[in-house]
Amino acid sequence: MDPVASIFQHWDERGRHRVSEQWYSDMETRGFNNVKMPIKFTESSVQWLAQEIVKDPRFVKATVKVMYTGLTGRKPINSQLLNSNENADLREAYVSQRNMLNSLEQQFIAEGYNLKKLAKNIILSAYWRADSLENGVSDTTNTIGSSRLLTPEMLDRKIQAILGFTWKRRSYDSQSRLAGNRNNGYRQLYGGIDSDLVNKRITQVNGMMTAVQKRMVTELSCKAVTLDFFKVRQARQLFPQVSINTSPVDDDGFQVPSAINAIKQNIKHLHWVMHGDSLEIDDVELQHTYDLFNQLKSAGHQLLNSNFNKYRYLPSSCRLYYHPETGERLSNTDEIVLDEDYSVRAWMGVLAYLMSDFKFVYE
Amino acid sequence: MKRRQFMQLLGVSGMAAYLPAPFIKQANAADPNHFWVMVHAGGGWDPTSLCDPKGNALRNDGRGPVNQYQTEQIKSVGNIRYSPYPDSVTDPGIFDNFFTSYQSQLLVVNGIDHQTNSHSAGTRNAWSGSSDMGMPGFAALVAAVTARDLPMTFLSNGGYDFTDSLVSPTRASGSGAFQELAFPNRPNPNDSNQQFLDQNENSSLDIHKLIVDASNKRLNRQIEQELLPQRRTAMSQLFIARNGKNNLNTLVNKLPGQISGGMKGQAEIAVAAFASNMAVSANLVSGGFDTHGNHDNSHFPRLATLLDGVDHLMQEINRHGLADRVTVVIGSDFGRTPYYNNGNGKDHWNVTSLMMLGAGVQGDRVVGATDANFNALAINPESLEVDPNGVVLTPSHVHQNLRRLAGIEESNITKKYGLSNTFINLLG
């Protein structure tokens, strides 16, 4: 057994510090990298090991590699691949990426091993920020630019940050659907790990993961819209520009410019909070979202006309009967049950559309 | 969406150009109705405690016996020899049950030299046939060649699931939530009358469909406008994954009422996925074999769990009527030392074994051999008898057999990942 294992001789198999009187005589004495640990560090052997590891030049390389992989979701090109691959583009990409990593390593040392600064330097690097390539430049190795499929834990935090609540099966559940470890959760189905039998994340989307996305979109859009409209406008995360009754046309079918503007402003806000896109009010993508809103309202009105008593109500699982914070039963005037203009469901549709977007599930 | 429409859409959008190369259909002799299960004993198993038993004769070098159990207690059924339990460990009878139940179907390959005692290199070698980086595992390769457009063609619970982007591995263990995913727009999957987003037979009034269509159009626009190949590829993968075949509801109907835990649950989902035409290959994993300390007490129960899991897998295969269509391969990172260390553990050893059963495997056979100290012996490539002038088996030999059995060895994709050795017929 190696000398590093001997350094941990006072820890048991459960990671607890338990001073051991006896140690295996056939094991190497404590040390690292051909250096024996001086006896004076007996009581602080792990701290000694940490200092020795940091002194090793490979520490900087490994740290930069781990941070780069963690932030971009992709490992740097492995030099061993070049041994069995004659691809000239791969070789060129490797050299270019190695130069960037060397630069990051040097900055990391110069800045006193500051991890926050290393993260910032990676994010500021051309590899991360690139959004196009110069004419004549190719990227056959797919190494430029950032687009990582969010892990279940990342997506879970994003949902919490944007919608203001955690995705749970039932509101009183203690565990998140995406990040929890319950048997009926989605963490592993969404490519996550259990740190036991399954310890490697899936980084490329598959049919099962898109099934989870579809469930996420329908369930969460249903819940998020009524919850947000229940708040006073200043406190809303999703709908600060509109009321639940804001409609682009009045009862006589005439357009209401102020309402149209408010709806578009709110869609602009949604593109910002959900995708980080700062769109102009006349942006073509904003117009597409606005068109969808109107299309859904129009289809909804036809459904209402066909069977008013059936379609005047929100789906039961999307209704708001209880105060989101206190849990108290809301009065008839405060509860959100009816949707006789199909506005709530049109906004649910818009939210579902934006939540199923590439920019929501990748970053 | 039907496959034809789907492929047409890819062509129209120009998206096919950004697909991984193997997505483009190729002619080959592979059978998409042949399914594959790779069972990985994680951590490095000890074949001398399983299918290549040695016993407690003392070694000449003073390092004690290879095993603690007595040599004369070694068991056999047909041509298969297997390890008894040492006296210090309670025998639950699982070894006896497994070997007597599957002896007629079981092929044991002993004396395989993995040429490493590194977990990562050994695992890669075991499941890809090469210790070189960049080699896809067999399960990924066979899925890519035979059925790459199935929604979860390669199910992976870990082990070695590097795919070289040929296909995307799908995780399907540890969840009882399939019904909800099969019907994502129903609050209650069993109630078709309730929906989150209104659905309607008239497609112009189908709110759910209008949103899905708008999302697909938006993704198409994004793909067309994206300037970075890496991001465009990711977008295309998302589009393909969303719009491929989805038989999740069929899979749900084929699952047992209660999905088991551990490897048994992995087996249930894998076989249900085969039976519902969702997948063609799967990695199952059972861990805890890295027994550097207290080997016998830890390792034998792990082996029992593994064999119990394989037994459950075979029962599921039979339950779904797939016995003549599924091949099961059981292996590990490498073997363990043919002696005990001071902590009664066994460390890493490059020589190991592999077991196979199921479709295409001639059973009641043992191929390859090791000496009394568990060193690999060379065998004659024709007769398969021990021959000092023969060759020592490596994972590459095993994988050449797997590729031939799967009918994928002549595929252009497979040829990209060449194996070095000459072919030795191990399967009979």
At B14 the pLDDT is 42
Same-domain pairing of A231 and A347: yes
Residue B135 C-alpha, separation from nearest chain A C-alpha, in angstroms: 10
Q: Is A23 a member of any domain? A: yes
B364 CB-contact burial (10 Å; exposed 0-12 / middle 13-18 / buried 19+): middle
**Which of chain A's residues have a Cβ under 8 Å away from the Cβ of B177?**
184-186, 189
**Which of chain B's residues have a Cβ under 8 Å away from the Cβ of A298?**
none
Q: With bands split at pLDDT 50, 70 and 90, how would you rate the model's confidence at B59?
A: very high
In chain A, which among 313-332 make CB contacts under 8 A with chain B? 315-318
Lowest mean pLDDT among A103-117, A165-179, A197-211: A197-211
ipTM above 0.85 for this complex: no
Lowest mean pLDDT among A100-104, B57-61, B102-106: A100-104
Residue B2 pLDDT > 50, yes or no? no
The tens digit of pLDDT for each residue in B153-200 reads 899 988 898 888 788 888 765 555 777 888 899 998 878 889 999 999
- A199-202 contacts: CB < 8 A, separation 24 or more? A199/B158, A200/B158, A200/B161, A201/A151, A202/B156, A202/B168, A202/B169, A202/B170, A202/B171
Q: With bands split at pLDDT 50, 70 and 90, how would you rate the model's confidence at B357?
A: very high
Residue B169 C-alpha, separation from nearest chain A C-alpha, in angstroms: 7
**CA nearest neighbour of B260 among B308, B302, B301, B300:** B308
In the predicted model, what is the mean pLDDT of residues A78-95?
A: 72
At B18 the pLDDT is 41
Fold of B31-175+259-415: Alkaline Phosphatase, subunit A (3.40.720)
Same-domain pairing of A17 and A116: yes
- CA–CA separation, A99 and A101 (whole Å): 5
A337 Cβ contact partners less than 8 Å away, ≥ 6 residues apart: A313, A314, A319, A320, A321
Lowest mean pLDDT among A90-99, A302-311, B121-130: A90-99
- CA–CA separation, B310 and B330 (whole Å): 9
Q: Is A333 a member of any domain? A: yes
Put simply, the answer to whether B171 touches A145 (Cβ < 8 Å) is no
Q: Specify whether the CB–CB gap between A207 and B170 falls below 8 A.
A: yes
Same-domain pairing of A348 and A293: yes
CA distances from B219 to A39, A145, A353, B242, B378 (A): 63, 18, 11, 11, 57
At A85 the pLDDT is 58
Of A129, A164, A185, the one marking the end of a domain is A129
Domain boundaries of chain B, sorted by first residue = 31-175+259-415
Say which residue, B216 or A10, is predicted with more confidence.
B216
At A198 the pLDDT is 66
- CA–CA separation, A359 and A363 (whole Å): 6
Say which residue, A93 or A151, is predicted with more confidence.
A151
- Beta carbons within 10 angstroms of residue B355's beta carbon: 23
**Which of chain B's residues have a Cβ under 8 Å away from the Cβ of A130?**
228
At B377 the pLDDT is 98
In the predicted model, what is the mean pLDDT of residues A140-160?
A: 83
The structure tokens listed for B152 are 């979860």
Residue A293 pLDDT > 60, yes or no? yes
Residue B12 pLDDT > 50, yes or no? no
Q: With bands split at pLDDT 50, 70 and 90, how would you rate the model's confidence at A191?
A: confident
Q: What angle do CA B180, B182, B188 make, to 5 degrees?
A: 35
Q: Is A217 a member of any domain? A: yes
Same-domain pairing of A125 and A157: no
Same-domain pairing of A95 and A243: no
Number of domains in chain A: 2
Chain A's closest residue to B205, CA to CA, is A299
A314 Cβ contact partners less than 8 Å away, ≥ 6 residues apart: A226, A336, A337, A338, A339, A344, A345
Q: With bands split at pLDDT 50, 70 and 90, how would you rate the model's confidence at A346?
A: very high
Q: With bands split at pLDDT 50, 70 and 90, how would you rate the model's confidence at A126?
A: confident
- CA–CA separation, B263 and B304 (whole Å): 12
- CA–CA separation, A341 and A343 (whole Å): 5
Put simply, the answer to whether A198 touches B286 (Cβ < 8 Å) is no
At B32 the pLDDT is 67
Q: With bands split at pLDDT 50, 70 and 90, how would you rate the model's confidence at A104?
A: very high
Q: Is A336 a member of any domain? A: yes
Put simply, the answer to whether B171 touches A198 (Cβ < 8 Å) is yes
Put simply, the answer to whether A80 touches B151 (Cβ < 8 Å) is no
In the predicted model, what is the mean pLDDT of residues B322-326?
A: 96
Residue A352 C-alpha, separation from nearest chain B C-alpha, in angstroms: 7
Which residues of chain A form beta strands (DSSP E)?
A: 31-32, 35-36
At B24 the pLDDT is 36
Residue B373 C-alpha, separation from nearest chain A C-alpha, in angstroms: 21
At B391 the pLDDT is 96
Q: Ranked by mean pLDDT, which of A140-149, A196-205, B256-265 comes out on top?
A: B256-265
The alpha carbon of residue B162 and the mean position of all alpha carbons in its chain are separated, in whole angstroms, by: 12
Q: Round the average pLDDT of chain A to a whole number and report it.
A: 88
Q: Which of A131, A139, A204 sits opposite B229 (nearest CB)?
A: A139
Residue A218 C-alpha, separation from nearest chain B C-alpha, in angstroms: 6
Chain B's closest residue to A186, CA to CA, is B175
At B152 the pLDDT is 82
- Beta carbons within 10 angstroms of residue B48's beta carbon: 26
**Which of chain B's residues have a Cβ under 8 Å away from the Cβ of A207?**
151-152, 170, 241, 244-246, 278
Q: Is the dihedral of CA A103, A109, A111, A114 positive or negative?
A: positive
Indicate which of A206, A277, A295 best probes the interface with B, i.e. most B CBs within 10 Å of its own CB.
A206
Put simply, the answer to whether B171 touches A192 (Cβ < 8 Å) is yes
- CA–CA separation, A226 and A221 (whole Å): 9
In the predicted model, what is the mean pLDDT of residues B3-23?
A: 43
- CA–CA separation, A332 and B128 (whole Å): 64
Same-domain pairing of A219 and A103: no
Chain B's closest residue to A221, CA to CA, is B196
Q: Is A138 a member of any domain? A: no
Put simply, the answer to whether A357 touches B218 (Cβ < 8 Å) is yes
Residue A213 pLDDT > 60, yes or no? yes
Residue A110 C-alpha, separation from nearest chain B C-alpha, in angstroms: 32
* CB-based contact, A304 to chain B, within 8 Å: no
- CA–CA separation, B111 and B371 (whole Å): 9
Of A129, A144, A175, the one marking the end of a domain is A129
Q: Which of A84, A138, A196 sits opposite B132 (nearest CB)?
A: A84
Put simply, the answer to whether B211 touches A26 (Cβ < 8 Å) is no
Q: Which of B177, B233, B286 sits opposite A185 (nearest CB)?
A: B177
Same-domain pairing of A351 and A213: yes
At B160 the pLDDT is 92
In the predicted model, what is the mean pLDDT of residues A324-338?
A: 94
The tens digit of pLDDT for each residue in B78-131 reads 999 999 999 999 999 999 999 999 999 999 999 999 999 899 999 999 999 999
Residue B246 C-alpha, separation from nearest chain A C-alpha, in angstroms: 7
Element (H, E) at B353: strand B351-358
Q: Round the average pLDDT of chain B to a whole number and report it.
A: 89
Same-domain pairing of A74 and A216: no
In chain A, which among 103-162 make CB contacts under 8 A with chain B? 130-133, 138-140, 142-145, 147, 149
Q: Which of A147, A213, A361 sits opposite B231 (nearest CB)?
A: A147
Say which residue, A172 or B246, is predicted with more confidence.
A172
Residue B3 pLDDT > 60, yes or no? no
Q: Is A139 a member of any domain? A: no
- CA–CA separation, A82 and A73 (whole Å): 21
Say which residue, B9 or B225, is predicted with more confidence.
B225
Same-domain pairing of A238 and A166: yes
Residue B50 pLDDT > 90, yes or no? yes
Residue A109 C-alpha, separation from nearest chain B C-alpha, in angstroms: 30
Residue B8 pLDDT > 80, yes or no? no
Residue A262 C-alpha, separation from nearest chain B C-alpha, in angstroms: 22
**CA nearest neighbour of B170 among A186, A176, A356:** A186
At B29 the pLDDT is 45
Q: Specify whether the CB–CB gap between B177 and A185 falls below 8 A.
A: yes
Share of chain B above pLDDT 90, in %: 71
Same-domain pairing of A24 and A120: yes
At B233 the pLDDT is 86
Q: With bands split at pLDDT 50, 70 and 90, how would you rate the model's confidence at A141?
A: low
Q: Pairing state of beta strands B169-170 and B335-336?
A: unpaired
**Which of chain A's residues have a Cβ under 8 Å away from the Cβ of B174?**
183, 185, 187-189, 194, 198
Same-domain pairing of A61 and A179: no
B397 Cβ contact partners less than 8 Å away, ≥ 6 residues apart: B112, B391, B421, B423, B424, B426
Residue A226 pLDDT > 60, yes or no? yes
Put simply, the answer to whether B184 touches A218 (Cβ < 8 Å) is yes
Put simply, the answer to whether A208 touches B170 (Cβ < 8 Å) is yes
Put simply, the answer to whether B187 touches A210 (Cβ < 8 Å) is no
Residue B6 pLDDT > 50, yes or no? no
Residue B48 pLDDT > 50, yes or no? yes
At B21 the pLDDT is 38
Residue A299 pLDDT > 90, yes or no? yes
Share of chain A above pLDDT 70, in %: 90
- CA–CA separation, B273 and B249 (whole Å): 11
Chain B's closest residue to A357, CA to CA, is B215
- Angle, helices A57-72 vs A115-124, to 10°: value is 50
Put simply, the answer to whether B181 touches A215 (Cβ < 8 Å) is yes
* CB-based contact, A244 to chain B, within 8 Å: no
Q: Is A325 a member of any domain? A: yes
In the predicted model, what is the mean pLDDT of residues B358-368?
A: 97
Same-domain pairing of A207 and A103: no
Q: Is A145 a member of any domain? A: no
Determine the structural domain holding residue A203 and report its residue range.
152-361
Q: Which of A143, A188, A204 sits opposite B175 (nearest CB)?
A: A188
